[in-house]
Amino acid sequence: MSLEDHLRARRDAGRKLLVPYVTGGLGDDWVETVRALAAAGADAIEVGIPFSDPVMDGPVIQQASERALHAGATPGGIVRALSGVDAGVPLAVMTYYNLVFRAGHERFASSLATAGIAGCILPDLPLDEAGEWCAAADAAGVATILLAAPTTPDDRLAAICERSRGFVYAVGVLGVTGERSSLAASATVIAKRLKAVTDRPVLVGVGVSNAEQARQVAEAADGVVVGSALVRRLLEGAGPEGAAAFVAELRAGLDG
Amino acid sequence: MTDTQSLPGGSLMGEPSETGRFGEFGGRFVPESLVPACFELEAAFRTAWADPAFHAEYEALLRDYGGRPTPVTECANLSKQLGIRLLLKREDLTHTGSHKINNVVGQALLTKRMGKQRVIAETGAGQHGVATATAAALFGLDCVVYMGEVDVERQALNVFRMRLLGSEVVPVASGSRTLKDAVNEALRDWVANVESTHYCLGSVMGPHPYPWMVREFQRILGAEAREQCRAVLGRDPDVVAACVGGGSNAAGTFSGFVDTDARLVGVEAAGGAAIGRGIPGVVHGMKSFLMQDEHGQVAEAHSISAGLDYPGVGPEHAHLAASGRADYPSAGDEEVLRAFELLARSEGIIPALESAHAIAWVVAAAERGELAPGTTVLVTLSGRGDKDVAQVMDMVNARTS
């Protein structure tokens, strides 16, 4: 089943979707964390492949990326590790375009497909530049999840939804990834604008930091992506169990 | 005043393609949040650059405030020593001490046109930061400058200068703590504040339209130099050289000579040689040559010159290199330091360490016979060396102790 079919089926059954993010290569037990998140109620899991210059990320994910790179994380190593995870829910990788460009579009797409990875998010590859990668990803059966931002005008929003696969990643707040003390009004606004133009699942990420914020934004959206709040806990030593406990909290918030 | 209307057509150093490509390089590889701002900026620049009133205001500011035109100086002593005829385009004599003012005045005028009140900038050596802080003071804009911690330390004078001008300087502690990381942090600020803020990018790099727009704002220096060379030499120079980090002074210079027979030489820092040691890659919004590892992680540059301490290069230079129209040798720290001292002693001109790279290449090329006796060479002296004196003093003392 494709990432999108999986998410649509769950959404259509009345479930709000939860996609937690972890940085690949962060700690020796990161693969175990991925499995624990699935067991704790994640509907899919986003795994970051660390990049040296993550311009869309705030301090928490920057620090996680640096730590993982310092520990020797490589794109190939992370993809190979994921091929053996068997988490029971679909996996998507999130990284920056130069790692894909360096590997080559076809080679990178087929390495994901071979590892059983269902989707790919490249935040610095906007719609206008995504053609070559999308063609390779489509051919390999990997979903390219595009981002839509609060600044995106209506006509462009429709084009992004048209080309996105898996789900549409709604950027909830103007800014880089990171926790916010309250949910930005822009999160609900972008979710509603997207829901008005697409039937694909709409998940809000960036600035969704806890169960209450997840519940709030999921009133308008089909679900949430939660990254920094989880990665901060991992940086503080929460381990797979602590990460799973946090995801269970988020799950409970969404299930209300 | 020299005409700054851009040349039409798709020839070398004309307009990039609709997607912002120079050959295969360039583009607009930024987060979706910034894409509309890039479109807005491109539209604002196109409108302004086609408006004679904008050109009049821009040129008047550069004349009355910036000190343009800058002279071309013939270096009699050094020419004699090297057996060539060496001319310098004196961007060190502008207000704020480097060519960066040309770009910043243009972008500050555009910021006003777009109705934005806040500008942000990245800086390496601090020259672009100082120029931006200066324009922000003049135009009454709020200004935040991002600067790597390493550069904050080695360019302390420029940090104080920016603060004196009323700007906030934010030290960047991530990554290599130099120019690359300052660009990352400026981009992160822009993602968060794009609706109120203009990113005043300092070189011919970043997403479209910056590489094109900044080259157009630097075209004035090449256009002046071309006329001045003809007045002095009676013809175009044989060789035109400039240092290249991102490559804005070189782009402005080359734009004045790309359609002549002059050999165009961009001199990179040996420790930041994107064209010399890099391969195509994508970072900071552009596809260009990039120093990186086998996985695509961006390499850290290492140069005594903070302004050239950058693993990438502007996409138009990548295209000029790929097309063979310009070549891009590099100069190492030690020969740059010697060139710095040589120009000071032989001509009474203290160059910026960045500009000293171009001088170092000329010296080396003359000494190894690559420049035949009598060759006419124009070098753009992109900035003055006052900011580097303390750093050079430490290095010279270390060498002699």
Residue type, A219: E
In contact, B89 and B249? CB cutoff 8 Å:
no
Residue B353: CB atoms within 10 A of its CB come to 28
pLDDT of residue B347: 98
Is A186 inside a domain boundary? no
Contacts of B19 in chain A (CB under 8 A): 128-129
Is A201 inside a domain boundary? no
Contact assignment for A99 to B296 by CB distance below 8 Å: yes
Among A52, A78, A206, most B C-beta atoms within 10 A, so best to mutate, is A52
Residue A129 annotated in active site: no
- At residue B38's C-alpha, the angle toward residues B37 and B43, to 5°, is 95
Does residue B189 carry a pLDDT above 90?
A: yes
Instruction: Kindly state the percentage of chain B with pLDDT values over 90.
Output: 92
Give the span between the Cα atoms of A167 and A7, in whole angstroms: 8
Residue B198 annotated in active site: no
Q: Which of A4, A43, A57, A222 is catalytic?
A: A57
Q: What's the total number of domains in chain A?
A: 1
**Per-residue model confidence as pLDDT tens digits over B40-51:** 999 999 999 999
- In the DSSP assignment, the letter for residue B169 is E
Is A188 inside a domain boundary? no
Contacts of B31 in chain A (CB under 8 A): 55-56, 123-124, 126, 147, 149, 171
Contact assignment for A151 to B297 by CB distance below 8 Å: no
ipTM exceeding cut-off 0.90 for this assembly: yes
* Residue in B29, B194, B295 nearest the CB of A125: B29
pLDDT of residue B2: 42
Give the span between the Cα atoms of B148 and B161, in whole angstroms: 16
Among B17, B33, B38, most A C-beta atoms within 10 A, so best to mutate, is B33
Q: How confident is the model at residue B1 (pLDDT cuts 50, 70, 90)?
A: very low
Burial of B368 (0-12, 13-18, 19+ CB in 10 A): exposed
Is A199 inside a domain boundary? no
Task: Tell me what the pLDDT averaged over chain B comes to.
Answer: 95
Q: Which of B38, B55, B95, B99 is catalytic?
A: B99
pLDDT of residue B214: 98
**Per-residue model confidence as pLDDT tens digits over B55-66:** 999 999 999 999
* Residue in B35, B181, B290 nearest the CB of A126: B35
Distances (CA, A) of B213 to B103, B250, B360: 9, 14, 29
Is A51 inside a domain boundary? yes
Within 13 A of A138's CA, how many CA atoms are on the CB side? Answer: 9
Q: How confident is the model at residue A84 (pLDDT cuts 50, 70, 90)?
A: confident
Sequence-distant (6+) residues with CB within 8 A of B127 are B96, B97, B98, B100, B158, B307, B352, B354, B383, B387
What's the mean pLDDT in B182-195?
96
Is the N-terminal amide bond of B311 cis, ω within 30° of 0? Answer: no
Crossing angle for the helix pair B389-400 and B333-347, nearest 10 degrees? 110
Residue B397: CB atoms within 10 A of its CB come to 9
Closest residue in B to A102 (Cα–Cα)? B296
Does residue B141 carry a pLDDT above 90?
A: yes
Is A155 inside a domain boundary? no
Within 13 A of B67's CA, how many CA atoms are on the CB side? Answer: 14
Phi, psi of B33 (to 5 degrees): -55, -30
Sign of CA dihedral A163, A166, A172, A175: negative
What's the mean pLDDT in B133-162?
95
Q: What residues of chain B, 265 to 294, have a C-beta less than 8 Å from chain A?
A: 280-285, 287, 290, 292, 294
**Per-residue model confidence as pLDDT tens digits over B76-90:** 999 999 999 999 999
CA proximity to B266, closest of B329, B335, B214:
B329
pLDDT of residue B3: 43
Helix (H, G, I), strand (E, B) or coil at A83: helix
Is the N-terminal amide bond of B69 cis, ω within 30° of 0? Answer: yes
Contact assignment for B282 to A69 by CB distance below 8 Å: no
What's the mean pLDDT in A10-33?
98
Give the span between the Cα atoms of B269 and B272, in whole angstroms: 5
- For chain B, give the number of residues: 401
Is A99 inside a domain boundary? yes
Contact assignment for A51 to B175 by CB distance below 8 Å: no
**Per-residue model confidence as pLDDT tens digits over A172-205:** 999 999 999 999 999 999 999 999 999 999 999 9
pLDDT of residue B272: 92
CA proximity to B371, closest of B270, B262, B268:
B262
Residue indicated by tokens 């800058």: B70
Does residue B204 carry a pLDDT above 90?
A: yes
pLDDT of residue A29: 97
Contact assignment for A53 to B191 by CB distance below 8 Å: no
Strands B279-283 and B285-290: what pairing? antiparallel
Contact assignment for B33 to A151 by CB distance below 8 Å: yes
Sequence-distant (6+) residues with CB within 8 A of B80 are none
Any chain A CB within 8 A of the CB of B32?
yes
Q: How confident is the model at residue B245 (pLDDT cuts 50, 70, 90)?
A: very high
**Per-residue model confidence as pLDDT tens digits over A235-249:** 999 999 999 999 999
Is A136 inside a domain boundary? yes
In contact, B208 and A189? CB cutoff 8 Å:
no
pLDDT of residue B146: 98
Q: Which two tokens stand for residue A89?
A: 């829910």
Q: Which residue has the higher pLDDT, B7 or B318?
A: B318
Sequence-distant (6+) residues with CB within 8 A of B295 are A74, A75, A76, A99, A102, A103
Does residue B5 carry a pLDDT above 60?
A: no
Does residue B277 carry a pLDDT above 90?
A: yes
Domains, in order of start, for chain B: 22-64+100-210 (3.40.50.1100), 72-97+220-400 (3.40.50.1100)
Does residue B7 carry a pLDDT above 50?
A: no
pLDDT of residue B9: 36
**Per-residue model confidence as pLDDT tens digits over A102-124:** 999 999 999 999 999 999 999 99
Q: Which of A4, A43, A46, A222 is catalytic?
A: A46
Q: Which two tokens stand for residue B324?
A: 């063979």
User: The domain containing residue A64 runs over which residues?
Assistant: 3-145+209-255
Contacts of B187 in chain A (CB under 8 A): 55
* CATH number of the structural domain spanning residue A25: 3.20.20.70
